[in-house]
Every structure is written in structure tokens, then in C-alpha cells.
């Protein structure tokens, strides 16, 4: 089949790009590690010393988090866009990321103990926050079962602002010593997490991707409008609930482990749609790989652009994403009064 062949081609290309980017990122960083040293660590000749620590305990986990978070965010973007039938939808713009972030800071108030408990607990708080925010946006913006774009975007911004304010309240209750860490996390950063946390993150992301990818064909039909989808045999209500759940899970898992990183879910699906077309059966797997490549590039830039200091990756994605959003908005309304 045509579509299947194109999927194979897209995944092979993006997979190659991903491996290449990941390999390159191993050699880049603020610590002075020579390429030869990186190779000897990777080759297993060097297992101790500063170089081994930098490559194996700093760079490698960070690359893994970047790939996972980027792919997850891009799939969340595709899912929200299909759900709202709107290419401008994104977890951050819809306020869902802020809801998840609020959940995380509330979770941190409780100071969840050991690492793995904290990972699971914070994810649960983030998921609850994301569901509340997404539910609020949907309930406020829906008129007669439809989601008009202006209302949806405005509602997302308002709900996002509300949760940002709520986050500020919780932060002022936090212990002063923990303030810096929380703020660093709020800007979105891919600090290495432990292997256990990474496993929890990956499991949640995999569940979310499965929820979305398993209904990719039905999501295509949703683009016709709900009534037409129903008349073509799609159980639209069940589909929407499943995608809503999946997209919230994807968003909240990233927020819990890497903070609210904006615009990845907007930029990556848009670029891929230009290359592959709107078929969600191609778009979802391609976004999983493409989002990873994008966020890894952004993070590598964030680590090196002001070296030896480093920027939060969320800053880079916002600097790319905000003008991109304006461009999309202008394109969409070009010629429309």
C-alpha cells in the first residue's frame, strides 16, 4: 500500500536523522571532553574518570530525556490538533501544560520521598492537573459541541494564565531552598533523571502514544466533523474521550519529568504535515521521532549557546515557537477579514 510505504520511508529517514543527531550530541557540551575521549568511553576502554562521568552520566541520559520528551510533546500536539480539528492547538497554548505544571508544584509541596515514589506521584499530580485544565478549556470553549478557533485559543490562554497564577501562589509557600530548582524546572529543562524515573516516564509516554496511534485512522475521519464521522461508523464520543486521555497523559508525563516545554507540539507536527500530509497514521509515528530530533537539537543549542552557562531548553523552543505561531496565525487568516 501507498501509505504503508510512505510510512516506512518516513520512519527510516527520521530514524536515521535521530541516530545521527543523538551521536553528534554526545560530542557537544560545556565540559572539555575531546572527541577521542568520547569515543574511548563509548568503546568501553575508559570506564572511570571525569570523561566517563560526563559522557555516560550527563550527556547520555540527557539525550535520552530530550528524545523522549520531544517525541512525546509532538505526539501530544498531533493529538490535540486532531481532537480540536485545529492546527494551532498545542499542549502549552491550550493551557494543559500549565495545568500539569500546577499539579507538579502541588505535588512538590508534599515533598514525596524516594525517587521512584516521587516520579510516580508527581506524574499522577501532573496528570490530574492536565485533565482539569483540558476539561476546563473544553467546557468553556465548546459551543453547541463545536470548538471555534478563536474561543478555543483565548480559553486556552486564560486557563493557562489562571494556572500560572496558581503556581505562583504555591511557589510562595515553598521552602526558600527549593525555590531555585522549581523555577529551573518551570522553564523547562532536561536535567538528567535517574534510570527509574526515566523508565516511569517512558512507560507513561508509551501508553499515551498507544492510545493515540491505535485510533489514528479514526482521527482522520474526525477532520470531517463529528456528524460525518458518526455517519461513517466512527464512535466519535468514545474516540474523543480516548484521545483526550492520551493527549493529557502525554503532556503531563513531559511536564512531570522535564517541565512545561512549549511549542514543540506546534512546530514539529506542522513541519511534518507539510512533508507527509495530514494522515495521522503517518503523522503520529513521524512526530514521535521528529519531535525527539527537534528537542535534542534545541537542547544542544541551549547547552552551548551561552557556554559555560546554559539556557533552559524551554527558552529556545519559545524563541522558535512564538514567531512560528504568529506566522501560522497570519497564514490561516490571510485573506479572511
Residues forming contacts to other proteins in the complex (CB under 8 A) are: 1-4, 85-87, 216-218, 220-221, 223-225, 227-228, 230-235, 273, 277-279, 281
For the bound state, the minimum distance from the C-beta of residue 111 to other proteins, rounded and expressed in Å, comes to 44
Residue (175 or 227) nearer to other proteins, CB: 227
Q: Specify the DSSP element, H or E, that contains 282.
A: helix 280-304
User: Which residue, 263, 133, 298, 123, is CA-closest to 196?
Assistant: 123
Place of cell 501507498: 2
Say if CB 82 and CB 280 are below 8 A apart.
yes
Residue (81 or 197) nearer to other proteins, CB: 81
Q: Specify the DSSP element, H or E, that contains 200.
A: helix 195-213
Within 8 A by CB and 6+ apart from 301, the residues are 316
Within 8 A by CB and 6+ apart from 330, the residues are none
Say if CB 104 and CB 126 are below 8 A apart.
yes
Q: Is 173 exposed, middle or buried (0-12, 13-18, 19+ CB in 10 A)?
A: exposed
User: Which residue, 121, 94, 81, is CA-closest to 105?
Assistant: 121
- State phi, psi for 34 to the nearest 5 degrees: -70, 150
C-alpha to C-alpha distance for 245 and 208, rounded to whole angstroms = 8
Residue (87 or 265) nearer to other proteins, CB: 87
For the bound state, the minimum distance from the C-beta of residue 82 to other proteins, rounded and expressed in Å, comes to 8
For the bound state, the minimum distance from the C-beta of residue 278 to other proteins, rounded and expressed in Å, comes to 3
Residue (115 or 226) nearer to other proteins, CB: 226
Residue (175 or 237) nearer to other proteins, CB: 237
Place of cell 515557537: 321
Residue (7 or 130) nearer to other proteins, CB: 7
Bridge partner list, 146: 143
For the bound state, the minimum distance from the C-beta of residue 63 to other proteins, rounded and expressed in Å, comes to 30
Residue (110 or 333) nearer to other proteins, CB: 333
For the bound state, the minimum distance from the C-beta of residue 160 to other proteins, rounded and expressed in Å, comes to 23
User: Which residue, 213, 201, 223, 219, is CA-closest to 287?
Assistant: 213
Residue (120 or 142) nearer to other proteins, CB: 142
Q: How many Cβ atoms are within 10 Å of 324's Cβ, its own excluded?
A: 16
C-alpha to C-alpha distance for 11 and 5, rounded to whole angstroms = 10
Amino acid at each position: 500500500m501507498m501509505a504503508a510505504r510512505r510510512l516506512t520511508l518516513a520512519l527510516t529517514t527520521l530514524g536515521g536523522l535521530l541516530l545521527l543527531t543523538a551521536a553528534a550530541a554526545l560530542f557537544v557540551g560545556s565540559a572539555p571532553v575531546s572527541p577521542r575521549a568520547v569515543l574511548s568511553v563509548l568503546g568501553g576502554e575508559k570506564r572511570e574518570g571525569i570523561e566517563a562521568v560526563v559522557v555516560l552520566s550527563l550527556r547520555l541520559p540527557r539525550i535520552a530525556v530530550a528524545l523522549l520528551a520531544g517525541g512525546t510533546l509532538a505526539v501530544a500536539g498531533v493529538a490535540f490538533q486532531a481532537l480540536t480539528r485545529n492546527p494551532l492547538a498545542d499542549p502549552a497554548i491550550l493551557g494543559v501544560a500549565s495545568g500539569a505544571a500546577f499539579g507538579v508544584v502541588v505535588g512538590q509541596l508534599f515533598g514525596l520521598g524516594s525517587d521512584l515514589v516521587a516520579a510516580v506521584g508527581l506524574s499522577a499530580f501532573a496528570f490530574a492537573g492536565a485533565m482539569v485544565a483540558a476539561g476546563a478549556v473544553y467546557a468553556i470553549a465548546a459551543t453547541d459541541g463545536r470548538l471555534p478557533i478563536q474561543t478555543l485559543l483565548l480559553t486556552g490562554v486564560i486557563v493557562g494564565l489562571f494556572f500560572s497564577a496558581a503556581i505562583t501562589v504555591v511557589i510562595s509557600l515553598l521552602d526558600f531552598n527549593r525555590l531555585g530548582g522549581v523555577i529551573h524546572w518551570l522553564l523547562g529543562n532536561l536535567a538528567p533523571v535517574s534510570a527509574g524515573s526515566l523508565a516511569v516516564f517512558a512507560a507513561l509516554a508509551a501508553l499515551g502514544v498507544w492510545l493515540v496511534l491505535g485510533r489514528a485512522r479514526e482521527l482522520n475521519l474526525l477532520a470531517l466533523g463529528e456528524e460525518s464521522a458518526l455517519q461513517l461508523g466512527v464512535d466519535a464520543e468514545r474516540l474523543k474521550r480516548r484521545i483526550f486521555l492520551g493527549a493529557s497523559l502525554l503532556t503531563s508525563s513531559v511536564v512531570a519529568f522535564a517541565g512545561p516545554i512549549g511549542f514543540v507540539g506546534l512546530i514539529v507536527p506542522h513541519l511534518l504535515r507539510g512533508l507527509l500530509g495530514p494522515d495521522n497514521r503517518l503523522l503520529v509515528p513521524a512526530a514521535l521521532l521528529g519531535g525527539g530530533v527537534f528537542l535534542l537539537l534545541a537542547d544542544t543549542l541551549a547547552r552551548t549557546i551561552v557556554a559555560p552557562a546554559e539556557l533552559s531548553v524551554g527558552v529556545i523552543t519559545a524563541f522558535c515557537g512564538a514567531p512560528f505561531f504568529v506566522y501560522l496565525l497570519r497564514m490561516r487568516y490571510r485573506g479572511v477579514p
